[in-house]
Amino acid sequence: MQSPETFPALAYETSLQLNADGELRHLLTLKGLSRDLLTALLDEAQHFVSQPGSATIRSRSLAGRTVANLFFEPSTRTRASFDLAGKRLGADVLNLDVNTSSRKKGESILDMIYTLQAMHVDIMVIRDASAGVPAYIAHHVEDHVSILNAGESDVSHPTQGLLDLLTIRQRLGKFENLIVTIVGDIAHSRVARSAAEGLHTLGVGELRLVSPPSLAAAPDDMPYARSLDNLDDGLRDANVVMALRIQRERIADLDGIPDSDQYFEQYGVSKKRLQVAAPDVIVMHPGPMNRGIEIESTLADSPASVITQQVSNGVAVRMAVLEWVSRTMASR
């Protein structure tokens, strides 16, 4: 076997995401994107939102374009979301399950990318367990190809961040006066990181990160946020509470992490615990949920929950991003 591939720890540079005219070409991270750009992306996504049961918003703006979903980690919901987003814009969508194919044969990831590029794939949607992969690929593709990060190790998940922002904006309007609390395995969460970056740029009132001490963010990570290990302190007056998925198999392996029942007792978001939050608090979760561990099951199904709205917004956000980078290509 070849030795495992390693990827340079590229600094995410705004210049890598934006072209010479300052337009979005790749979406790798929300870090460094301007408030104006984030707001414009949310506005665009809002156009693609339709009500449950009503006809989906569709267009042919990506007709003739090819989108490849290149998932090196298994995924149902994010893959399905990008798949539908591409199809509803008229793109040809190529779904590649890469675990079972060429990467096994020792082909480098770049050679696989060059191959797709040579097949005239315009937009590559990448999920990978290794940090740095999307930026590494973006750094190497030709000018006419866009890279979208669909989940990168514990680093970044920018379309998830955007759908979280969109959901908050739909429910609560402006960000400036909001207290947002993220609860769970902060240390390993790309979801928390992207949400935090977006919220920071949009000027959120206060951002709190609640976790067991062993799962807290590093001190210099997200310095604009306040880290706590007490859930009640974290929930006090919160307008938005986002519970993160706990991987129970990981919990058993780590010292200092409570088991499932203990976890729910200490860090599970429940109706009772939320009594200290703002009266109109909304509850978010990126899914898939472990009901009864990180979130109380009845809370997940209550009117305070915006979890399915997040999913709907996910398709809308991905349509907006696909259309946006496609427009950037066309303007070359």
Determine which residue in the list 25, 26, 31, 88 makes contact with a second copy, applying CB under 8 A.
88
- Report how far apart, in Å, the C-alpha atoms of 162 and of each of 149, 165, 210 are: 12, 5, 21
CA pair distance 145, 8, nearest whole angstrom: 21
Q: Residue 187 interacts with a second copy (CB under 8 A)?
A: no
For the bound state, the minimum distance from the C-beta of residue 54 to a second copy, rounded and expressed in Å, comes to 8
Q: Cβ(92)–Cβ(63) under 8 Å?
A: no
Q: Residue 309 interacts with a second copy (CB under 8 A)?
A: yes
Determine which residue in the list 39, 114, 188, 229 makes contact with a second copy, applying CB under 8 A.
114
Determine which residue in the list 7, 87, 139, 171 makes contact with a second copy, applying CB under 8 A.
87
Nearer to a second copy, 34 or 115 (CB): 115
Q: Cβ(286)–Cβ(263) under 8 Å?
A: no
* H/E run at residue 60: none
145 closest CA partner among 163, 119, 171, 166: 119
Residue 213, Cβ neighbours under 10 Å: how many? 9
What is the crossing angle of helices 35-47 and 190-201, to 10°?
A: 110
Q: Residue 83 interacts with a second copy (CB under 8 A)?
A: yes
Q: Cβ(237)–Cβ(276) under 8 Å?
A: yes
Q: Residue 14 interacts with a second copy (CB under 8 A)?
A: no
Q: Residue 53 interacts with a second copy (CB under 8 A)?
A: yes
Q: Residue 108 interacts with a second copy (CB under 8 A)?
A: yes
Nearer to a second copy, 276 or 311 (CB): 311
Sort residue 268 into left (φ over 0), alpha (ψ -120 to 50) or beta: beta
Binders of a second copy in range 125-184 (CB under 8 A): 142-144
Reduced to 3 states, what is the DSSP secondary structure of residue 243?
strand
Q: Residue 305 interacts with a second copy (CB under 8 A)?
A: no
Q: Point out which residues bind a second copy (CB under 8 A).
A: 2, 50, 52-53, 55-56, 58, 64, 66, 68, 74-77, 80-81, 83-84, 87-88, 92, 94, 96, 98, 100-102, 104-108, 111-112, 114-120, 142-144, 245, 247-248, 287-291, 308-312, 314-315, 332
